[in-house]
Amino acid sequence: MATQQIITSRQKLLAPSSAIFSVVFDKGRATKHRLPLSHVLNTLRELDLLIRELGKKVQRANGVRNPDGDFGIELIANSSGFAFSKGSIESRAVITKDVQNGITTVSRIIGTTNGVESKKDSVSVDEYGAPVLRRLAKIAPFQAQDKSELRLQLLTPKGAVIESSSFGKAGIQTVQRLTASEFEIESLTVYGKLSKLWDQSRTDEEDDIWGDLIEDNGNKWAMKFKPAALKKVQKLFFFTKQVVVTGDAFYFKVKGPRLDVTEIEPDKPRNYVAAFNAFGRKYKDALGDRTPQEILADIRG
């Protein structure tokens, strides 16, 4: 069922046909007009993925039949591609499709980011806040290395700031605290099916392989495999086999659990009838001819 969309008075200043989303890299290395290209591009990529992920939720809540999170965001570039000003680097993009839901999505991102930066005791981590924190956690290492501050703004077509948020040192510390694992369990075994292989992440030593696993009860796990397991994982993935996976589990506050895999094997089909018959034969002397109901009654006293 669609929920009622809430528009603030500041958002009403925007025309329903256009809005601008501004990303500003400020302070630190940005004051020298120099930032690693990979840091800038990866930050923009994470923001784009965030808008799409959160945008689907907003669209679905507002009755869009086939939500895709696509708001037709296009960069507004000058001759150099970015707008440079004293002490900062700025990129602007215009929302060209489904503008009102796009505005709502950006507004939610700005609101959650403000909560993170202000170090409030209670930061929203509901279905709308959690994606923001997950993406900010990926952006945080770039900001920390560059000692820079990320500023997100919602602007009118004439450039007036409607909403604004900052993500700097305080926000980085908050995100690190919120995304740190709450507890760990060694040698946990999980049963389910691999749904996809979704990323590779460079570490100091090698490329870890990542994938998703869906348990029979619907719970979703992020799985981290060693490169040596690639061929086995691909075979199990492509044939969508039920698998049994063992590894060290990490549980987090604002994202799903992760399993650092040490063993993965096909989950052999179970013959429960044969197991029951074997159990009956093994304990025949103890159980006698009693029915299961009688045995349970005896156990329960």
Residues spanned by the domain of 74: 13-179
Contact 244, 178 (CB under 8 A): no
Same-domain status, 28 and 123: yes
User: What was the pLDDT predicted at 32?
Assistant: 80
Contact 194, 240 (CB under 8 A): yes
- In angstroms, the Cα distances linking 256 to 139, 228, 244, 253, 291 are 18, 25, 19, 8, 44
> What are the start-end ranges of the H helices in the chain?
37-61, 99-117, 129-146, 169-179, 230-238, 272-282, 284-287, 292-300
User: What was the pLDDT predicted at 219?
Assistant: 83
What single-letter amino acid sits at 14? L
Same-domain status, 238 and 257: yes
Same-domain status, 35 and 155: yes
Residues 115, 93: Cα–Cα separation, whole Å: 24
Asked if residue 134 has pLDDT above 80, the reply is: yes
Q: Using the 3D structure, point to which of 179, 208, 240 is the last residue of a domain.
A: 179
Report if residue 281 sits inside a domain. Answer: no
CATH number, domain with residue 261? 2.40.50.140
Asked if residue 83 has pLDDT above 70, the reply is: no
User: What was the pLDDT predicted at 6?
Assistant: 43
Nearest-CA neighbor of 280 among 299, 268, 272?
Answer: 272
Is the pTM above the cut of 0.75? Answer: no
Same-domain status, 207 and 147: no
Residues 242, 214: Cα–Cα separation, whole Å: 10
Mean pLDDT computed over 145-168: 90
Report if residue 162 sits inside a domain. Answer: yes
* pLDDT, the chain, mean: 80
What pLDDT, in 10s, does the model give residues 279-299?
777 777 777 777 777 777 777
Report if residue 241 sits inside a domain. Answer: yes
Report if residue 286 sits inside a domain. Answer: no
Report if residue 97 sits inside a domain. Answer: yes
Distance, first Cα to last Cα, the chain: 49
Mean pLDDT computed over 180-187: 84
Same-domain status, 148 and 200: no
Question: Domain count of the chain?
Answer: 2
Other CB atoms within 10 A of residue 137 CB: 19
Same-domain status, 165 and 37: yes
Asked if residue 105 has pLDDT above 90, the reply is: yes
Q: Using the 3D structure, point to which of 147, 162, 179 is the last residue of a domain.
A: 179
User: What was the pLDDT predicted at 82?
Assistant: 56
Asked if residue 234 has pLDDT above 80, the reply is: no
What single-letter amino acid sits at 120? K
Q: Which tokens go with 39?
A: 């840091």
Backbone φ and ψ of 77, nearest 5°: -110, 145
